[in-house]
Amino acid sequence: MSAGGTQLSASGPRHIAIIMDGNGRWAARRGLPPSAGHKAGVERIRDLLSACRDRGVEALTLFAFSSENWQRPPKEVELLMSLFHSYLRKEARRMREEGVRLRVVGRRDRFSPRLQRAIAEAEDITRGGEHGDLVIAADYGGQWDIAQAARLLAEEVAAGKRSPESIDEQALGEYVQLADLPPVDLLIRSSGEQRISNFILWQAAYSEFYFTDTLWPDFDEAALDAAIAAYRDRDRRFGGRSGDGIAAQA
Ligand code: IPE
Ligand code: IPE
Ligand code: MG
């Protein structure tokens, strides 16, 4: 999303991931059913994507549906699936025009064949995008992600293509989702909950976490700017010492 960025900053973040939470409460406060909150929540994504582009963010990963969200009432799951389908049908062409490459991460086999086709088509038509990545995590779980990476490595061992000794953090890190994107610098969760709910576990090892009480359908450009400002204020040490000379004195 860096091309055309007006406020491109060397200090990043390059990759933002968001747990889009609070649709149900947003609707309940208005005396509306959860479906109204989900509809309002989807409407936020278009603006947010372009706001990220304007701010030089290269990759945006959105948690849209967790592997645990199948436990919701069937009617709600059905609505979420249909919103996902219509979002892909509506937005993929626009993304292609803007040079945004879309991908969906998560299990796909539990989606209807129709939704699986829409995902594949949206990924196909945006494949050449060179101005940023939008990742939608759907039927995604961080534990699933690590398990599928382990399975791929195990298959290579079984096929004699690698040794068990070759399996280390780097090897596993190449098989989890998002491995080809910049590391997730900033992980935002809306709605006030302070937990990860089985979102990216491996990839968030050194992400900065930002929690806001704002409910997802209210998460606007100002909310994004507040999150980015908080991120830029953080001292990212990655286990080392900050560059203030204290390390040199030790
Ligand atoms: C997030 O909103 C959307 C999904 C989990 C699909 P919620 O529906 O979880 O909203 P709350 O947490 O009930 O307010
Ligand atoms: C996490 O939100 C999943 C998404 C936002 C897609 P949930 O609302 O499902 O999480 P919990 O149940 O509060 O942990
Ligand atoms: Mg929730």
Give the pLDDT confidence of 44-95 residue by residue, as tens digits: 999 999 999 999 999 999 999 999 999 999 999 999 999 999 999 999 999 9
Q: Does ligand 1 come within 6 angstroms of the Cβ of 25?
A: yes
- 250 occurs within a structural domain: no
Predicted TM-score (pTM) of the model is 0.94
- 223 occurs within a structural domain: yes
Q: Does ligand 2 come within 6 angstroms of the Cβ of 193?
A: yes
What's the average model confidence in pLDDT over 131-153? 98
What's the average model confidence in pLDDT over 173-181? 98
**Confidence band of 11 (pLDDT split at 50, 70, 90):** confident
The verdict on whether residue 106 carries a ligand-binding annotation is no
- 58 occurs within a structural domain: yes
Please, what is the average pLDDT of the chain? Answer: 94
Q: Does ligand 2 come within 6 angstroms of the Cβ of 21?
A: yes
How many domains, the chain? 1
Q: Decide: residue 112, CB within 10 A, 0-12 exposed, 13-18 middle, 19+ buried.
A: exposed
Q: What CATH code is carried by the domain that includes residue 68?
A: 3.40.1180.10
The verdict on whether residue 70 carries a ligand-binding annotation is yes
Helices (H), the chain: 23-28, 34-54, 74-98, 113-126, 142-158, 169-173, 221-233, 246-249
Please give the pLDDT value at position 242: 84
- pLDDT of 161 > 50? The answer is yes
Please give the pLDDT value at position 237: 96
**What is the domain extent for residue 207?**
15-141+183-231
